[in-house]
Structure 1
């Protein structure tokens, strides 16, 4: 990837996205877990345990190359992002719960992301080529969390400004993600067709599986519909920019970032279609069930 894009563009894109996330967060979001302990616990179980297992099964079943398989596992270990909150809002989820899950997942990922990625590297025998050391991960998350804290400070002191900036920052984040993905495609233009054929199906299946697991498992656990919708988008919409940043800047591999880049394009369409399915068919049917048994 072009050095300017990787050394400047990626950190800036990640910083803008995480600052925008911080503009929507307050300290109360980290403590609200006491109000919905079951929903938070089930969502974390899905995020930290079920999704890596689902992703691992998919990469084995579809026989991905070791590098792309590890790239998929890196994506699976990445937390949700601000885009998840937007989808939750659009499709009638519990946005307060969604924001709480995003806040908690972003912190938990400091441990879970390197753990899952290193296990994948060991399994697919990439340990000699790259390693995700906790010290370097802490540096990455310092870069991630500082903009979040700054955004939270701005929201605490200037809530009106934070509200006004919400939409422009989201739009800017989407644009920067597009630029990063375009840069990866340009850098890997000779292999774009091969990569699309290799990871297009697995990325689509993983995105859909994440969204479905994020809704079905919480519903089985007795979580309300609105909370399950929030869990679905939090679990199903990953922070692709973070995964790309770790792949390119920490692991020094553009090829590792390909699954996240493809996911960044596919995710918007899959999540939107899933949201439509939720609001038009799944949620109305679930609401009708009690009356059918009455």
Structure 2
């Protein structure tokens, strides 16, 4: 499994998802960040500061084993992605803001993800993994994340018609690939998963709800309009579980560290949909 799935299939799956993300991005999305700094700054503050702290608190509360604790922190450091954009569209969020957040988050994660992982490994000290993401591994994460995104942006710039035509198929493929990666990670670690499913279900469920809640409540408390707050909620609340799984299995070579992301990925989709319905109904009642 390690030679085929871990070294080839998983990175390829992530590349397809990140390429699809790049098809949605233009240089104008980065310009938009400078023009609308407040909602972007609030969402990034939630993503980069509040969520790792909240995740660390949950990991300590649930007393997870070290490997799973690092896996949870890896998940917390992973940015949003195409699924967040899709949910924002479905529940009337500001999709343009989502795209801008995804663009900047994907770049920042190249720095923050290795930092969070290394600090987590130093704190929890999981057996057999003491060095974490060194420079070579960090470069690998950089290529995994930004390489396909840059390729997608180039295609969007030079072949906009093709990019538009591929948008829906790539979105559908991304969701299917996400489901396949989650199922594959669960099957590959089935025996371990059975032993830790109870604690993982509790901590990932709590983390998902807290992420969505923080992503929506903080912008609203700071005077951001509802569509932008909805966009923030999904960007902050829906993490790129595929990236976390690929880093755990293909970069760190610890398939068991991918289990939190696998369980989270299975719970995230229905929870995020329920959250979107609740927010939409509240907004309709106030209209």
Q: 1:257: which partner in 2?
A: 258
Contact 2:18 2:149 in 1 (8 A): yes
Deviation of 1:127 (Å): 8.0
Q: Within 5 A, what are the aligned runs for 1:98-109? A: 98-109=98-109
Task: Please list, as runs of the form range in 1=range in 2, the aligned pairs for 1:140-219 lying within 5 A after superposition.
Answer: 140-219=141-220
Partner residue in 1 for 2:14: 14
Partners of 1:109 and 1:135 in 2: how far apart? Answer: 16
Deviates most, 85-94 or 159-168: 159-168
Which sits farther off after the overlay, 272-281 or 147-156? 147-156
1:165-191 deviation digits (Å, cap 9, x = unpaired): 111111111222222222222221222
Instruction: Report what 2:62 is aligned to.
Output: 62
* 1:291 match: none
Unaligned runs of 5+ in 1: 289-294
CA separation of 1:129 and 1:2: change in aligned 2, threshold 3 A: closer
Q: Which deviations, in whole Å up to 9, do the C-alpha atoms of 1:228-276 show, x marking residues without a partner? A: 1111100001111111111111111011000011111111011100000
Secondary structure at the aligned position of 1:57 is classed as helix
* Secondary structure of the structure 2 residue equivalent to 1:154: helix
2:84 equivalent to 1:84: yes
What stretches of structure 1 move > 3 A for 4+ residues in a row? Answer: none
How far residue 160 of structure 1 moved from its aligned partner, in angstroms, is 2.2
Whether contact under 8 Å (1:121, 1:127) holds in the other structure is: no
TM-superposed deviation, 1:2: 4.4
Structure 1 residues 136 and 154: alpha-carbon distance in aligned structure 2, compared to 1, 3 A threshold:
same
1:253-292 pair list within 5 angstroms: 253-281=254-282, 283-284=283-284, 287=286
List alignment gaps of at least 5 residues for structure 2: none
Aligned pairs, number? 286
Alignment deviations for residues 192-248 of structure 1 (CA, whole Å, 9 cap, x no partner): 222321201110110111001000001111111111111110000111111111111
Structure-2 separation of matches of 1:120 and 1:143: 21
SS at match of 1:160: helix
Q: CA deviation at 1:111?
A: 1.2
- Verify the 8 A CA contact 1:9 1:180 in the aligned structure 2: no
* TM-score of the aligned structures, taking structure 1 as reference length: 0.93
Cα-to-partner distance string for 1:17-47 (whole Å, 9 max, x where unaligned): 0010011000111111122111011111101
Distance 1:270 1:149 in 2: 31
- Answering whether residue 41 of structure 2 is matched by residue 48 of structure 1, we say no
Please tell me whether residue 23 in structure 1 is matched to residue 23 in structure 2.
Answer: yes
After TM superposition, the structure 1 = structure 2 runs for residues 109-124 of structure 1, keeping only pairs within 5 Å, are 109-124=109-124
Alpha-carbon distance between aligned partners in 2 of 1:66 and 1:6, rounded to the nearest angstrom: 22
SS of 2:25's equivalent in the other structure is: coil
Measure the CA separation in 2 of the matches of 1:147 and 1:43: 24
| CA-CA distance at 1:84 after TM superposition | 0.6
Q: Show the counterpart of 1:94.
A: 94
TM-score by length of 2: 0.96
2:139 aligned residue: 138
